[in-house]
Amino acid sequence: MTFIFDNTYVRLPARFYERRAPYPVARPGLVKLNLALADQFGIDPDALNSADGLAILAGNQVPAGAAPLAMAYAGHQFGRFVPQLGDGRAILLGEIVTPSGQHLDLQLKGSGRTAFSRAGDGRAALGSVLREYLISEAMAALGIPTTRSLAVVTTGEPVYREVPLPGAVLTRVAQGHVRVGTFEYFSARQDIDALRRLADYVIARHYPEAQEDERPYRAMLDAVIARHATLVARWLSVGFIHGVMNTDNAAISGETLDYGPCAFMDHYHPGQVYSSIDHQGRYAYANQPYIAHWNLAQFAQALLPLLDVDPDRAIREAQSAVDAFPDQFDRAWLDCFRAKLGLIEVADDDHNLIDALLDAMASGVADFTNTFRALADAAAGAEALLRSQFSDTALIDAWLSRWRVRLAKESTDTAARVIAMHRANPLVIPRNHQVEAALNAAEEGDLTAFDALLQILVNPWDDRPGVTPYTRPPQPHEIIAQTFCGT
Ligand code: AMP
Ligand code: MG
């Protein structure tokens, strides 16, 4: 089994991690192998799909060239600072080098206890692992930056949550697993040397252009802020609710990280929350940009000692960087939603026009995905499908005339607009009731529904035979009101 490893994180000082191999599991069983991803990253699919491959994906064998470790990090969880979290149930096997020279983290999640496990068992349940596999791959297909899922393996051991569940290990691939919480870990310890090494590491790996800047740390901060502004705008554009936007789940690489209680909305409501542990609605759909802004302020705060030797100047640097977020987010959000509405050109009133549609959708209990998708038909003159999304068509009719006036001001021809709208408005998203049904069957050993759903979600754009059932919102009795983080 040949992975090409070049492990850079392990070259950081020992206080950045605990060196530890994954714990072996009783009876590894292959559940999912993402051969398309393996191919894309230059991993030999046959080697992966072998007995040695399975042993590696289960954590029973450490591949040659790996340097397994658990990363140290801290984090603000629901606004409260926890000075030590860390990989409590994950092991970074090492960094693989792709044919194009990119370094990617290869991580096993659910691979046993580490120095950071606290009271946890270090394990993961099959349902939550398959959930991450499905939704992360759906996100990737939607073109949204995300960690990827390479494989799912069952352990042959139960994990005990409220009830015994089958245990599993996910192989996660990411551009990087450094989090805002990694910086907070060293900031809380006033370990300036470590902060500097971490920042230099992040710049070298993720933001090499910052190296050219006369203030590299400020340039890195700006770049991270810009990536998160775009990332969260893109989440909102597909109705995604991350659910647990703690700073330990905010990836410095700008990838979507941690698929716990996340969910996609069915009908649009800005206050929508699914996570069973989010009692205050802190991570509600429309709160996500504010939370990202707050998380990035924690990042800037942790970086203060690097931004300037003079503390007042450092605070001014941090503040001006963080203050750029709202405008950057707004611009990214406008880009996304203009495209969703089929607007190619820019007009002053666009923000209002988009808000008015969203308001109508909230009042009319309109399905987020299907409403936007039906806008493309409406752009081509067929309004019935769009109007049928609203509990009261009067809510959308006034808006439709306003939108028509706006479209008429553009020179874009209708056919081109419809094609563009179909690329901005997915036909299918992972709907909670379908995800839940697929996971329940999978936990009973039947992957048919899971595989069928995955097959649909890896192409979210194109209408084709068999796709229609997956576009249907839940019937009242199918609605999933809550999702669980499954830790
Ligand atoms: P999460 O909610 O997945 O972001 O995890 C938050 C923290 O709890 C991280 O430090 C995890 O490593 C740790 N954690 C979550 N589940 C477990 C588990 N089953 N065993 C050990 N640590 C865990
Ligand atoms: Mg996490």
State in Å: Cα 114 to ligand 2 middle.
Answer: 15
Question: What's the rounded Cα separation, in Å, for the pair 318 and 187?
Answer: 14
- Domain termination site, one of 147, 174, 201: 174
338-342 — which CB contacts under 8 Å span 24+ positions? 339/420, 339/421, 339/423, 339/424, 340/237, 340/372, 340/375, 340/421, 340/424, 340/425, 341/375, 341/403, 341/421, 342/375, 342/376, 342/379, 342/407, 342/412, 342/417, 342/418, 342/420, 342/421, 342/424
Q: What percent of the chain stands above pLDDT 90?
A: 97
Average pLDDT over residues 418-439: 97
- What are the residues whose beta carbons fall under 8 Å from the beta carbon of 350, sequence distance 6 or more? 334, 337, 338, 341, 343, 406
- The string of pLDDT tens digits covering residues 312-343 is 999 999 999 999 999 999 999 999 999 999 99
Tell me the average pLDDT of the chain.
Answer: 97
Q: Are residues 168 and 29 in the same domain?
A: yes
- Which residue in this structure is represented by tokens 């880009």? 335
Q: Are residues 389 and 315 in the same domain?
A: no
Q: Are residues 287 and 348 in the same domain?
A: no
Helices vs. strands in the chain: H and E counts, helices first: 17, 12
What is the DSSP code (8-state) at residue 95?
E
Question: What's the rounded Cα separation, in Å, for the pair 442 and 93?
Answer: 27
- Domain termination site, one of 271, 305, 333: 333
* Ligand 1 nearest atom to the CA of residue 487, by list position: 16
54 within some domain: yes
73 within some domain: yes
Q: Please tell me the residue having the least CA distance from ligand 1 atom 11.
A: 88
* Ligand 1 nearest atom to the CA of residue 87, by list position: 12
Q: What percent of the chain stands above pLDDT 70?
A: 99
CB 52 within 8 A of CB 1: yes
* Ligand 1 nearest atom to the CA of residue 248, by list position: 4
Q: Does pLDDT of 140 surpass 70? A: yes
4 within some domain: no
- Pocket probe mutation, ligand 1, options 85, 89, 283, max atoms within 8 Å of Cβ: 89
Average pLDDT over residues 137-154: 98
Which tokens belong to 318? 């941090």
pLDDT of residue 1: 59
Among 189, 256, 188, 176, residue whose Cα is nearest residue 220:
176
- pTM value is 0.98
Q: Sorting pLDDT into bands at 50, 70 and 90, what band is 481?
A: confident
Q: Does pLDDT of 438 surpass 70? A: yes
Alpha-carbon radius of gyration of the chain: 23
- The string of pLDDT tens digits covering residues 226-247 is 999 999 999 999 999 999 999 9
Ligand nearest to the CA of 71: 1
Average pLDDT over residues 174-190: 98
Please list the residues that pair with 82 across neighbouring strands. 75
- Domain termination site, one of 333, 365, 380: 333
Q: Please tell me the residue having the least CA distance from ligand 1 atom 13.
A: 88
* Ligand 1 nearest atom to the CA of residue 246, by list position: 4
pLDDT of residue 484: 80
1 within some domain: no
Pick from 228-237, 283-292, 472-481: least confident: 472-481
Q: Sorting pLDDT into bands at 50, 70 and 90, what band is 2?
A: confident
Question: What's the rounded Cα separation, in Å, for the pair 323 and 330?
Answer: 13
State in Å: Cα 438 to ligand 2 middle.
Answer: 23
Q: Are residues 156 and 121 in the same domain?
A: yes
Which tokens belong to 458? 């890896």
pLDDT of residue 487: 63
| Catalytic sites, residue numbers | 248
Q: Are residues 168 and 184 in the same domain?
A: no
pLDDT of residue 483: 84
- What are the residues whose beta carbons fall under 8 Å from the beta carbon of 419, sequence distance 6 or more? none
Domain extent for 152: 9-174
Q: Are residues 360 and 473 in the same domain?
A: yes
Q: Are residues 160 and 24 in the same domain?
A: yes
Average pLDDT over residues 158-179: 97
Q: Are residues 414 and 453 in the same domain?
A: yes
Average pLDDT over residues 454-469: 98
State in Å: Cα 160 to ligand 1 middle.
Answer: 15
State in Å: Cα 86 to ligand 2 middle.
Answer: 9
Average pLDDT over residues 74-83: 98
Q: Are residues 425 and 325 in the same domain?
A: no
Q: Are residues 32 and 89 in the same domain?
A: yes
- Show the ligand 1 pocket: residues with CB < 6 angstroms: 85-89, 116-117, 120-123, 244, 248-249, 258, 260, 485, 487
Q: Are residues 422 and 462 in the same domain?
A: yes
3 within some domain: no
